[in-house]
């Protein structure tokens, strides 16, 4: 089950965190994975890891906020069966403490970056007449109020809306589009955030953040990647226009 043999998959933000976990599990299941990341060294390291395990992968250094870069890279790939929009940035701040520069930075990566990849990939999927699968990274922030996450929540609400629009517009082109909404996931970003904002209290704050999920811990990138694998596999061929919470009970059990 969940074989991706002979599939061409593009994963953005695949140099670290959830994107890296997706790239690794996709390659394990037989896909040729195109690793898209702004960090050239991290992208190359993921590709080397995949190849050392007998998988197929290619690295591309791309800024998803730059449409010309995205279109150029995707046109070189030419055939895309699966697109996972995992690239993203976070921000801490309220409406009156978020600067225009910070707002634009979050928008350019999390919203425009997803749009740019959709803009580049959908014509290729339609051209080959084989359809395709798109998975967008939303968040619990799209549906619940999170303190001090104004710009980030805005961006993930936009991702949720884009997912529904794409699912509706291209259903007759055999293109499926879904999203997932994780709660807190233990990635290098979390460790960096704790080190920067709570020096000397990293373990204490990590435990506190973990307990905000009713299940009592953060998710792992691998757990997120396994759900994405299912939604991008042929076993999920009847699913489109849906969002899946993967949140340790955060949305339903915290009320």
CA distance 22 to 18: 6
Task: For residue range 127-166, list pLDDT tens digits in order.
Answer: 978 899 999 999 999 999 999 999 999 999 999 999 999 9
Active site residue ranges: 152
Average pLDDT over the chain, rounded to an integer: 96
Domains and CATH numbers, the chain: 8-185+221-253 (3.40.50.720)
Look at residue 255 and tell me whether its pLDDT is greater than 70: no
Give the whole-angstrom CA distance, residue 253 versus residue 255.
Answer: 6
pTM for the full predicted model: 0.96
CA distance 198 to 194: 5
């Amino acid at each position: 089950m969940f074989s991706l043999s002979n599939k061409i998959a593009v994963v953005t933000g695949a140099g670290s965190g959830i994107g890296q976990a997706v790239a690794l599990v996709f390659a394990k299941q037989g896909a040729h994975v195109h690793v898209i990341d702004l960090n050239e060294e991290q992208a190359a390291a993921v590709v080397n890891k995949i190849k050392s395990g007998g998988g197929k992968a290619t690295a591309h250094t791309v800024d998803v906020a730059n449409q010309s870069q995205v279109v150029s890279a995707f046109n070189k790939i030419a055939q895309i069966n699966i697109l996972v929009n995992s690239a993203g940035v976070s921000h801490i701040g309220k409406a009156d403490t978020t600067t225009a520069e910070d707002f634009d930075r979050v928008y350019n990566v999390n919203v425009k970056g997803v749009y740019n990849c959709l803009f580049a990939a959908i014509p290729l999927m339609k051209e080959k007449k084989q359809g395709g699968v798109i998975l967008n990274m939303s968040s619990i922030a799209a549906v619940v109020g999170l303190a001090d996450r104004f710009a980030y929540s805005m961006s993930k609400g936009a991702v949720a809306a884009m997912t529904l629009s794409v699912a509706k517009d291209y259903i007759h082109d055999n293109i499926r589009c879904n999203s997932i909404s994780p709660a807190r996931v233990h990635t290098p970003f979390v460790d960096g955030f704790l080190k920067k904002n709570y020096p000397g209290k990293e373990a204490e704050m990590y435990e506190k953040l973990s307990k905000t999920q009713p299940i009592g811990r953060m998710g792992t990138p691998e757990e997120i990647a396994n759900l994405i694998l299912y939604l991008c596999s042929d076993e999920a061929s009847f699913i489109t226009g849906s969002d899946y919470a993967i949140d340790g009970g955060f949305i339903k059990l915290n009320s």
